[in-house]
Amino acid sequence: MAQTLLQVEDLHTQFFTSRGVVRAVDGVTFHVDAGETLGVVGESGCGKTITALSILRLVPDPGRITSGRILFRGKDVTKMTDEEIRDFRGNDVAMIFQDPMTSLNPVTKVGMQIEEAMTAHERFTEKVARPRVIELLKRVRVPAAESRVKDYPHQFSGGMRQRAMIAMGLSNEPDLLIADEPTTALDVTVQAQIIQLMKQLNRELNTAMMLITHNMALVASLCQRIIVMYAGRIVEEGPVEQIFRSPQHPYTWSLLRSVPRVDEARKDRLVSIKGMPPDLSHPPPGCKFHPRCPFVIDKCKVDPEPQLEEVGVDQVARCWVLMRNVKEESTEVAKQSALSKEAAEKLKAPVGELGAGEVGAGEVGRGAGG
């Protein structure tokens, strides 16, 4: 039985803006076991990044953790003193951000920055840290690490920078690595290199990983368990194979079917989720997904939001309908065309052209040749 490393209980993080209170994270409960990789998926603005920042207590103003507990090895992060939290960040948990360009200091050498991350926590003396930098860069497979430590970030390519960021994250041997869209800014071939690197590191060092992404394929290749977030809430959670095989929440189902697969020939239209994510300062009543849900029933609009309920082994979902109760025919609704036929017909009608003297001379128009 794996040991629980991180336990988040009923976390609420809210932003107090002039437009009202934005409930960015609205009662989120989950855990990360030692050595496991957990995927957190959802659209921009669903609260996945704020959840991660809350764990590190790095929520930017005007945001605040308003309630809930974040237990790391039984110790509540929300109650840590400033001293303790500094020690916790970097030593126990490290975070890799999306954009490797803006997260490195442009005027400090890469090696220096990694060294700084180590010595800042007084875990390593300068003497020990310096040779370790090269070792770390080698571990994340930066070629010619001995000479590259003296380079500045701008001399590194995007993929190399992301490797340096990962090296920095690993420098203090954290138990949990939070990676926020680590490959989004990178090219596919470089993305594949980084994915392999992260897989290897997870295996070699047994570092637990929390991968935040909107890329379903990335989750499929890296994670064991998955959490789907929508509008600040967890809507579904379970083992990755199970969620991919039989998603129960319509949102999870739509997300999975809204991306084409490279290994499949064009068979089907993509499921498109209509509309946009809700404004979190004024979320809709009932189930927060109901305005966009293709399988909505009256209960979803009126009743209070459903609870997370067991829908399979280790799988929970927050839905009144559940995909297992949706007939195959009804799923076609989600693939329908949004194109206005009427408008298309009107646009096809020829339009008279003015100023023919300017463009008309010596021309053969589209209809004129036939």
Partner 1 sequence: MQAAERAPLAGSRTDPVLVRVSGVYKHFPVGGFGGLAVRAVDGVDLEIRRGETLGLVGESGCGKSTLARLITGLLPVTAGSIVFDGQDVTRIRGARLRRVRRRMQMIFQDPFASLDPRMTVGDILQEPLDNFSIGTLRERRKRVQELLRLVGLNPNFTNRYPHEFSGGQRQRIGIARALSVNPSFIVCDEPVSALDVSIQAQIINLLQDLQREFQLTYLFIAHDLAVVRHLSDRIAVMYLGKVVETADRNDIYDKPQHPYTKALLSSIPVPDPMVEKGRAPITLKGEIPSPVNPPSGCRFHPRCPIARVPGVCSEVEPPLEPHGAVDQVAACHFAGQF
CB of 252 to partner 1, least distance (A): 12
CB of 213 to partner 1, least distance (A): 10
Structure tokens at 142: 């930066």
CB of 215 to partner 1, least distance (A): 8
Q: Residue 196 or 325: which CB sits closer to partner 1?
A: 196
Q: Residue 79 or 282: which CB sits closer to partner 1?
A: 282
Q: Residue 118 or 243: which CB sits closer to partner 1?
A: 243
In three-state secondary structure terms, 253 is helix
CB of 292 to partner 1, least distance (A): 8
Q: Residue 127 or 341: which CB sits closer to partner 1?
A: 341
Amino acid at 198: M
Radius of gyration of the CA atoms of the chain, in A: 25
The full length of the chain comes to 370
Distance CA 119, CA 114 (A): 9
Distance CA 175, CA 277 (A): 33
Burial class (CB in 10 A: 0-12, 13-18, 19+), 174: buried
Q: Residue 40 or 56: which CB sits closer to partner 1?
A: 40
Structure tokens at 328: 């195959």
Structure tokens at 257: 């079917």
CB of 229 to partner 1, least distance (A): 13
CB of 361 to partner 1, least distance (A): 6
Whether the CB-CB separation of 73 and 5 falls below 8 Å is answered with yes
Buried-exposed string 272-310: b where 16+ CB fall within 10 A, e elsewhere: ebeeebbebeebbebbbbbebbbbbeeebeeeebbebee
Q: Residue 118 or 317: which CB sits closer to partner 1?
A: 317
CB of 109 to partner 1, least distance (A): 21
CB of 180 to partner 1, least distance (A): 15
Sorted by sequence, the CB contacts under 8 Å of residue 130 that are 6+ apart come out as 111, 115
Distance CA 90, CA 362 (A): 71
In three-state secondary structure terms, 324 is helix
The CA-atom distances, in angstroms, between 300 and each of 228, 236, 263, 292 are 19, 16, 36, 11
Q: Residue 4 or 193: which CB sits closer to partner 1?
A: 193
Distance CA 171, CA 194 (A): 17
Q: Residue 98 or 119: which CB sits closer to partner 1?
A: 98
